């Protein structure tokens, strides 16, 4: 299959979005940008199309998809009942990187939810994406547009690297401004519970709903979010995360780089700009090193350093607070070990 490459500069945008919307409606698989990462979309009401997304990614069938909507109304149409907090949360955070878990009605096919009674819904924030969803006219089920287990793609060329020839089209919307996947919040438990941390933080949520929000216990016997039990986001090189206490001292990092180099490894360093220039390591900059910059660049960095053929990637960790919770969640899931 030839994968159409749809550009979105001012002269092509309208036609590209129209084409992508038509393809989705007709049951094709189309990758599209969102503010978080690129999604691999299918018409959520078309079971065959949704099944093909699982197949193309190599995604385990028990890992449900997020349904993307262009308006909160479209999400309500999928629900059995609308949770009390839904209106408040949506007013504050939609469009945006917050996915809500709610009980679904009969409109939602089982393949989308992996047979669960609940469905994940989100209204993404990029103008191109909202336009696309609006024109498609049906909700779009979409996981991230990578091969299962690989780092999520944050630009169209990363999508191509994984899926060229396997999907109908890629809509290129440039680089994703957030860079990591949405916060997933379960609204069906007695106390709202974060199943996956993202850039909408626990504190952000608690401020709006004026009550407690929990983090799901990742070690629970039955993972609340099926996706959490799989290894994720991993580069081909082995990733070593330097724990934040040590990462503060440049000498610990320099020692770690030197040790890997002397063991004959090609080393990649994924670190704030200020740490550039350590030995012979390939370098990918995490900008000013704030949690927001980490989030925006970590997946691109893992892919870029892989492409340079390094054997080991070293990355200094950051404090797990605020957006740092989500950044460290992704880094540690991708990592082989932490020092």
Number of residues that bind Mg ion (CB under 5 A): 1
72 vs 124, which CB is nearer to Mg ion?
A: 124
Per the document, the length of the chain is 339
Burial of residue 195 (CB within 10 Å: 0-12, 13-18, 19+) is buried
Secondary structure of residue 30 in the 3-state scheme? strand
The least CB distance from residue 249 to ligand AMP, in Å, is 34
Contact between 143 and ligand AMP per CB under 6 A? yes
Say how far apart CA 303 and CA 233 lie, in whole Å.
10
43 vs 260, which CB is nearer to ligand AMP?
A: 43
Answer for which of 20, 66, 133, 237 binds ligand AMP (CB under 6 A) is 66
| Tokens 């007709």, residue located | 26
28 vs 150, which CB is nearer to ligand AMP?
A: 150
Site string for ligand AMP, 275-294 (x = CB under 6 A): --------------------
95 vs 143, which CB is nearer to ligand AMP?
A: 143
16 vs 129, which CB is nearer to Mg ion?
A: 129
120 vs 247, which CB is nearer to ligand AMP?
A: 120
Contacted by 290, from ligand AMP, Mg ion, none: CB < 5 to 8 Å by type:
none
Residues 233-262 that bind ligand AMP (CB under 6 A): none
Answer for which of 3, 144, 182, 225 binds Mg ion (CB under 5 A) is 144
Using the Cα atoms of residue 317, residue 318, residue 321 and residue 325 in order, give the sign of their dihedral. Answer: negative
From the list 14-22, 68-76, 222-230, 282-290, the region that binds ligand AMP by CB under 6 A is 222-230
Query: End-to-end distance of the chain based on CA atoms, in angstroms?
Result: 44
Say how far apart CA 157 and CA 146 lie, in whole Å.
11
From the list 1-9, 138-146, 170-178, 238-246, the region that binds Mg ion by CB under 5 A is 138-146
64 vs 268, which CB is nearer to ligand AMP?
A: 64
Cβ 168 vs Cβ 31: under 8 Å? no
Answer for which of 17, 23, 69, 120 binds ligand AMP (CB under 6 A) is 120
70 vs 196, which CB is nearer to ligand AMP?
A: 196
Burial of residue 201 (CB within 10 Å: 0-12, 13-18, 19+) is buried
| Tokens 């440049």, residue located | 250
The least CB distance from residue 144 to ligand AMP, in Å, is 5
Contact between 144 and ligand AMP per CB under 6 A? yes
Contacted by 324, from ligand AMP, Mg ion, none: CB < 5 to 8 Å by type:
none
**DSSP alpha helix (H) spans, 164-290:** 202-209, 244-247, 250-262
Answer for which of 111, 119, 126, 292 binds ligand AMP (CB under 6 A) is 119
Say how far apart CA 57 and CA 38 lie, in whole Å.
13
Which regions of the chain does DSSP assign to beta strands (E)?
Answer: 4-6, 30-32, 39-43, 66-68, 98-103, 118-122, 140-142, 169-171, 183-186, 193-196, 214-215, 238-242, 267-271, 282-285, 312-316, 337-338
Contact between 101 and ligand AMP per CB under 6 A? yes
Q: What angle do CA 17, 293, 245 make, to 5 degrees?
A: 150
Answer for which of 173, 227, 268, 324 binds ligand AMP (CB under 6 A) is 227
Report the interface residues with ligand AMP, using CB under 6 A: 63-66, 101, 113, 116, 118-120, 143-144, 181, 184, 195-196, 225-228
Report the interface residues with Mg ion, using CB under 5 A: 144
């Amino acid at each position: 299959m030839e994968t159409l490459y749809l550009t979105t500069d001012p002269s092509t945008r309208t036609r590209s979005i129209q084409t992508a919307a038509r393809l989705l409606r007709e049951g094709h698989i189309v990758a599209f940008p969102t503010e978080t990462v690129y999604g691999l979309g299918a018409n959520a009401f078309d079971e065959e199309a949704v099944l093909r997304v699982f197949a193309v990614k190599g995604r385990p069938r028990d890992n449900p998809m997020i349904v993307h909507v262009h308006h909160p109304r479209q999400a309500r149409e999928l629900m059995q009942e609308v949770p009390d907090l839904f209106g408040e949360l949506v007013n504050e955070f939609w469009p945006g990187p917050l996915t809500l878990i709610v009980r679904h009605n009969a409109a939602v096919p089982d393949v989308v939810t992996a047979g669960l009674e609940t469905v994940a819904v989100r209204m993404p924030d990029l103008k191109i994406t909202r336009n696309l969803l609006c024109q498609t006219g049906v909700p779009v089920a979409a996981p991230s547009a990578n091969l299962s287990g690989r780092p999520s793609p944050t630009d169209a060329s990363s999508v191509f690297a994984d899926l060229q020839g396997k999907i109908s089209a890629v809509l290129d919307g440039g680089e994703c401004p957030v860079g990591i996947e949405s916060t997933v919040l379960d609204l069906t438990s007695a106390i709202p519970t974060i199943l996956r941390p993202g850039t909408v933080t626990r504190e952000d949520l608690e401020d709006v709903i004026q009550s407690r929000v929990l983090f799901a216990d990742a070690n629970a016997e039955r993972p609340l979010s099926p996706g959490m039990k799989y290894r994720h986001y991993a580069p081909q090189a082995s990733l070593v995360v330097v724990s934040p206490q040590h990462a503060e001292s440049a000498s610990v990092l320099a020692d770690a780089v030197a040790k890997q180099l002397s063991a004959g490894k090609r080393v990649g360093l994924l670190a704030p700009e200020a740490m550039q220039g350590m030995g012979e390591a390939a370098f990918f900059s995490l900008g000013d090193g704030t949690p927001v910059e980490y989030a925006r660049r970590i997946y691109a960095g893992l892919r870029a350093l892989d492409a340079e053929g390094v054997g080991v990637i070293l990355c200094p960790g950051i404090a797990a607070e605020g957006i740092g919770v989500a950044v460290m969640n992704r880094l540690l899931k991708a990592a082989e070990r932490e020092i």
